[in-house]
Amino acid sequence: MYSKQIDRANPGCIVFLADQSNSMLDGIGGGAKPKIEVVATALNRFLGELISMCEKGETEPRHYFDVGLIGYTTDNMGGPVVSSMYSGALAGRELIGIPDLYNSPLEIESRTKKEFQDDGAGGLTEVLVPINFPIWYKPPTPDKMFGTPMCTALSMAQQWISIWVAAHPNSFPPLVINLTDGEPTDGDPEQLGLADQLKALATADGNLLLFNCHLSSSPAESVFLPAAEAALPDELGRALFRMSSPLPDKMRQQAEIKGISAPLGCKATAFNADAVSLLKMLSLGTVVADSGLPKHLR
């Protein structure tokens, strides 16, 4: 199980659920940068890296993945506002193949990254290097960010992926990564069985993998990939633990190879996550993708 090679005949599927509630405007991990901005940067970076993984020196990258972005918030009366986060040329679409993502970023931003270069005297010096940073997802403006209709978002993901699984019964199992900072405002997804229904979707290679990442404004240490419910500090953390999928052994071993601690029996969840933990969670998505790709693309 969880060993199917991803190729153009049997692509993989990754769907992100991004909380866009008002509290996402708070700083992440005790810092000043809003959680919503950190999530946007992380998602766009992930998409860029995933596209790079599918490149093989051809005109455009190969169609090895379909990717969905679901944003969820409410209107000011509490009504769910849940939809695809793609805009521009991709507006209104649900699961987007890698070639279309490659060809249709919303815009290209000019950013900088830190690099160490030879200083000519036998040492290294840190410099800022300009880079092009493609953008596919931009968060909503603060006046459109209210509640947390997670149940509605999970239901939408189930609808999308049910159709995808029916069309790709022999593919590597889909992956869903839920990024949130609070409790649902439209019901209890655990009591309603929404997480279990989502995880019940399966291909011949295994069941869907559901990851949950709780983003925090607190500087407190995060709990990452716990192996026991008792490791979580409160009921929200324990609920996310119960909702999350166990990390399959092959994925766990691949994560360890990449330097991500993944103890035996751990579940795919993080609680009180800061920016570092968020990037680790998205790195697990890359691990899942990487483990299924042909060897020459890993």
Q: Is 143 left (phi over 0), alpha (psi -120 to 50) or beta?
A: alpha
Give the separation between CA 229 and CA 213, rounded to whole angstroms: 15
Q: What is the largest CA-CA distance in the chain?
A: 64
Residue 259: count of CB within 10 angstroms of its CB: 8
In a domain, 98, yes or no: yes
In a domain, 240, yes or no: yes
Domain with 98 in it: what CATH number? Answer: 3.40.50.410
Give the pLDDT confidence of 61-79 residue by residue, as tens digits.
999 999 999 999 999 999 9
In a domain, 194, yes or no: yes
In a domain, 162, yes or no: yes
Mean pLDDT of 123-140: 86
Domain count, the chain: 1
Question: Which residues, other chains included, contact 233 with Cβ-Cβ below 8 Å and sequence gap of 6+?
Answer: 223, 271, 272
Give the pLDDT confidence of 192-231 residue by residue, as tens digits.
999 999 999 999 999 999 999 999 888 888 899 999 999 9
In a domain, 30, yes or no: yes
| Residue 126: band (very low, low, confident or very high) from pLDDT cuts 50, 70, 90 | confident
* Contact predicate 258/11, CB 8 Å: no
Give the separation between CA 19 and CA 147, rounded to whole angstroms: 9
DSSP 150-185: HHHHHHHHHHHHHHHHHH-TTSPPPEEEEEESS--S
Q: Which residue has the higher pLDDT, 192 or 112?
A: 192
Give the pLDDT confidence of 74-102 residue by residue, as tens digits.
999 999 999 999 999 999 999 999 999 99
List beta partners, residue 8.
none
Q: Which residue has the higher pLDDT, 15 or 221?
A: 15
% of the chain with per-residue pLDDT over 90: 70
CA angle 274, 44, 240 (to 5 degrees): 40
In a domain, 221, yes or no: yes
Question: Does pLDDT of 281 surpass 80?
Answer: yes
The pLDDT of residue 162 is 98
Question: Does pLDDT of 288 surpass 70?
Answer: no
Question: Does pLDDT of 134 surpass 70?
Answer: yes
* Contact predicate 43/244, CB 8 Å: no
In a domain, 203, yes or no: yes
The pLDDT of residue 14 is 96
Mean pLDDT of 35-62: 93
* Contact predicate 85/15, CB 8 Å: no
In a domain, 2, yes or no: no
% of the chain with per-residue pLDDT over 70: 95
DSSP state at residue 34: B
Q: Which domain, by its residues, includes 33?
A: 12-107+136-297
| Residue 284: band (very low, low, confident or very high) from pLDDT cuts 50, 70, 90 | confident
Provide the mean pLDDT of the chain: 91
Question: Does pLDDT of 298 surpass 60?
Answer: no
Question: Which residues, other chains included, contact 133 with Cβ-Cβ below 8 Å and sequence gap of 6+?
Answer: 44, 45, 48, 108, 109, 110, 111
Question: Which residues, other chains included, contact 193 with Cβ-Cβ below 8 Å and sequence gap of 6+?
Answer: none
Q: How many Å from the N-terminal Cα to the C-terminal Cα in the chain? A: 19
